């Protein structure tokens, strides 16, 4: 019998679903997945950045219902402490929480200008200045982490931070964003994770499309 159920929406479009799913995978949680159709009005609004849906991702575990990706991450860190979803060192843990919180509440220009879409590749995509500022901040965060913790993940070993920033890696791939060698290497590390490959393959076989996110930019 599985331990939990994770409610998600589109694997192709939903960055928050990917984050929650990766966190559950990282800690070794035995879970089933329940999909909310993108035809659902609330899920659709969340994917189009028109609202913050409380539908997805949502973790059902031991009679509890935990929604919001950061809350799911903190919960999983409590129930599966041996997986070290948060770093063991207090200073690293504080920094991890800080950059996860920054991703959770910020980078709105990047989200709107470069929506997640794993099925597409836009070669030579023009990234405008507001989104470029977000990209510059994200890559600074990554380089600072590598300088301090040595890689190959943001805090050495895999953590909540890597799940939080994984959808950004997919955006950089989709929109052909040029990165420095350090950030390129990190992107390759994320894209090569077996968990991400599993998600990516499933996303590419999803039958549903969201026309608003399928136009040529």
Quote the domain boundaries for residue 183. 90-199
Round to whole Å and give the CA distance between 159 and 83. Answer: 9
pLDDT at 131 over 80: yes
State both tokens at 103: 């991703």
Q: Which of 83, 99, 130 is the last residue of a domain?
A: 83
pTM for this model (two decimals) = 0.92
CATH number at residue 8: 3.40.30.10
Say yes or no: 118 and 143 in one domain.
Answer: yes
Q: How many domains does the chain have?
A: 2
Query: 102 vs 215, which has greater pLDDT?
Result: 102
pLDDT at 120 over 60: yes
- CA–CA distance from 169 to each of 31, 133, 144, 166, 175 (Å)? 25, 16, 17, 5, 10
Say yes or no: 24 and 110 in one domain.
Answer: no
137 lies in some domain: yes
Say yes or no: 181 and 150 in one domain.
Answer: yes
112 CB contacts (<8 Å, ≥6 apart)? 49
For 170-184, what is each residue's pLDDT tens digit? Answer: 999 999 999 999 999
Say yes or no: 45 and 103 in one domain.
Answer: no
Counting every residue, how long is the chain?
217
Say yes or no: 68 and 125 in one domain.
Answer: no
pLDDT at 134 over 80: yes
174 lies in some domain: yes
3-state class (DSSP) for residue 107: coil
Say yes or no: 47 and 97 in one domain.
Answer: no
Round to whole Å and give the CA distance between 186 and 192. Answer: 10
207 lies in some domain: no
209 lies in some domain: no
Say yes or no: 113 and 191 in one domain.
Answer: yes
CATH number at residue 186: 1.20.1050.10
Say yes or no: 79 and 114 in one domain.
Answer: no
pLDDT at 38 over 90: no
Q: What per-residue confidence (pLDDT) applies to 9? A: 86
165 CB contacts (<8 Å, ≥6 apart)? 99, 103, 138, 142, 154, 190
208 lies in some domain: no
216 lies in some domain: no
With contact defined as beta carbons under 8 Å apart, do 47 and 38 qualify?
yes
Range from 36-50, 91-105, 159-173 carrying the lowest mean pLDDT: 36-50
Say yes or no: 111 and 10 in one domain.
Answer: no
For 20-43, give one letter per residue: b (16+ CB within 10 A) or e: bbbbbbbbebebeeebbebebebb
Average pLDDT, the chain: 91
Average pLDDT, stretch 43-48? 60
Say yes or no: 185 and 101 in one domain.
Answer: yes
Say yes or no: 79 and 111 in one domain.
Answer: no
Q: Minimal CA–CA distance to 161: which of 23, 16, 9, 59? A: 23
Say yes or no: 148 and 190 in one domain.
Answer: yes
118 lies in some domain: yes
State both tokens at 191: 């894209």
Q: What per-residue confidence (pLDDT) applies to 164? A: 98
């Amino acid at each position: 019998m599985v331990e939990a159920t994770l409610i998600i929406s589109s694997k192709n479009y939903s960055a928050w679903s990917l984050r929650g799913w990766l966190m559950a995978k990282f800690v070794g949680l035995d879970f089933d997945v329940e999909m909310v159709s993108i035809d659902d009005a609330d899920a659709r609004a969340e994917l189009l950045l028109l609202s913050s849906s409380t539908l997805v991702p949502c973790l059902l575990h031991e009679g509890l219902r935990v929604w919001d990706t950061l809350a799911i991450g903190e919960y999983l860190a409590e129930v599966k402490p041996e997986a070290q979803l948060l770093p063991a060192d207090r200073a690293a843990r504080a920094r991890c929480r800080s950059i996860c919180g920054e991703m959770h509440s910020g980078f709105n220009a990047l989200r709107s200008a470069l929506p997640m879409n794993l099925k597409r590749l836009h070669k030579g995509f023009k990234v405008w200045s507001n989104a470029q500022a977000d990209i510059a901040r994200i890559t600074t965060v990554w380089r600072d982490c590598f300088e301090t913790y040595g890689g190959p993940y943001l805090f050495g070993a895999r953590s909540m931070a890597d799940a939080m920033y994984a959808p950004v890696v997919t955006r950089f791939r989709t929109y052909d964003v040029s990165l420095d060698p350090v950030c390129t290497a990190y992107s390759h590390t994320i894209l090569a994770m077996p968990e991400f490959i599993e998600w990516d393959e499933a996303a590419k076989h999803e039958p549903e499309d969201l026309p608003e996110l399928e136009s040529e930019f």
